[in-house]
Amino acid sequence: MKRSLFSIICLLFFLQLTAGSQQTNIDSLQKIIKSTQDSTHKFNALLQLYKSTKNEHPQQADAYASEALAIARKMGDKLKESLVIKETSKLLLANYQFEQFDSIVHAIIPVFEDHNETELLADCYNNLGTSQFYRGNVVKAEEYYHQALALYDPDSWPWASTRLNTVFLMQTQGRYSEALPILLQLTKKFKALEDEYNYTQCLVTLASVYETQGDFEKSREYNLQYIEKCKAIGFQDGIAGGYHNLANLASKQENHQEALKYALKAVEGFKKPQMVWNKASSMLTLGIIYHQLGQLDKALQTNEEILTICKEKGINSFLSEIYNNNSNIYLEKGAYQTAFSWAKKSLQEAEKNREIDMIRDASYNLYEASKALGKTDDALAYHELHHQYKDSLLQEQNSKAIRDLKNNFEITIKEYENQQLKQENTLNDLEIKQQRTKLWVVAVILILVSVIVFVLILLNRKLRSKNRVISEHRIELEKNNRLKDNMFSIIAHDLRGPMGATKGLLEFLDIDSAREDQKGYEDVLETVKKSASSTYELLENLLNWSRQQKNEITFEPKSANLTELVDEIMQLKQPAAKRKNIHLSHSLQNEFIVKFDKNMIHLVIRNLIDNAIKFTPEGGKVDILGEIKEEKVQIAVADTGVGISEEAKVKIFDKYQLYSSKGTKNEHGSGLGLKLCHDFIQKHSGSIYVESKIGEGSRFIFTVPQN
Please report the DSSP string for 37-72 in residue order: --HHHHHHHHHHHHHHHTTT-HHHHHHHHHHHHHHH
577, 616 contact by CB (below 8 A): no
> How confident is the model at residue 480, as a pLDDT?
65
CATH of the domain at 211: 1.25.40.10
If asked whether residues 532 and 470 sit together in one domain, one would say yes
CA atoms of 589 and 625, how far apart (whole Å): 9
33, 46 contact by CB (below 8 A): yes
Beta strand 697-705 with 687-693 is: antiparallel
Within a domain: residue 610? yes
Within a domain: residue 43? yes
Please give the tally of structural domains in the chain: 4
Within a domain: residue 656? yes
Which residues of the chain carry a pLDDT beneath 50?
1-24, 399-422, 493
3-state secondary structure 287-317: HHHHHHCCCHHHHHHHHHHHHHHHHHHCCCC
Domain boundary among 317, 338, 373: 317
If asked whether residues 294 and 332 sit together in one domain, one would say no
User: Cβ neighbours of residue 378 under 8 Å, at least 6 residues apart?
Assistant: 366, 370
CA atoms of 107 and 551, how far apart (whole Å): 64
If asked whether residues 484 and 397 sit together in one domain, one would say no
Beta strand 558-561 with 583-586 is: unpaired
Burial (CB count <10 Å: 0-12, 13-18, 19+), residue 171: buried
If asked whether residues 235 and 262 sit together in one domain, one would say yes
If asked whether residues 459 and 534 sit together in one domain, one would say yes
Within a domain: residue 223? yes
> How confident is the model at residue 412, as a pLDDT?
27
Domain boundary among 529, 553, 577: 553
If asked whether residues 403 and 506 sit together in one domain, one would say no
Tell me which residue range forms the domain holding 675. Answer: 555-705
If asked whether residues 485 and 516 sit together in one domain, one would say yes
CATH of the domain at 690: 3.30.565.10
26, 49 contact by CB (below 8 A): yes
Within a domain: residue 488? yes
Using DSSP, state whether 215 is helix, strand or coil. Answer: coil
CATH of the domain at 524: 1.10.287.130
> How confident is the model at residue 305, as a pLDDT?
92
Domain boundary among 553, 580, 604: 553
If asked whether residues 354 and 440 sit together in one domain, one would say no
If asked whether residues 105 and 253 sit together in one domain, one would say yes
Helix (H) or strand (E) holding 647: helix 646-652
> To 10 degrees, what angle do helices 376-408 and 356-373 make?
150
Within a domain: residue 643? yes
Query: pLDDT for 253-273, tens place per residue?
Result: 889 999 999 999 988 888 887
> How confident is the model at residue 669, as a pLDDT?
64
Distance from the Cα of residue 58 to its chain's centroid: 46
Within a domain: residue 1? no
If asked whether residues 196 and 93 sit together in one domain, one would say yes
132, 347 contact by CB (below 8 A): no
Within a domain: residue 436? yes
Using DSSP, state whether 377 is helix, strand or coil. Answer: helix
If asked whether residues 118 and 41 sit together in one domain, one would say yes
If asked whether residues 525 and 632 sit together in one domain, one would say no
* Rg, C-alpha atoms of the chain: 46
> How confident is the model at residue 332, as a pLDDT?
93
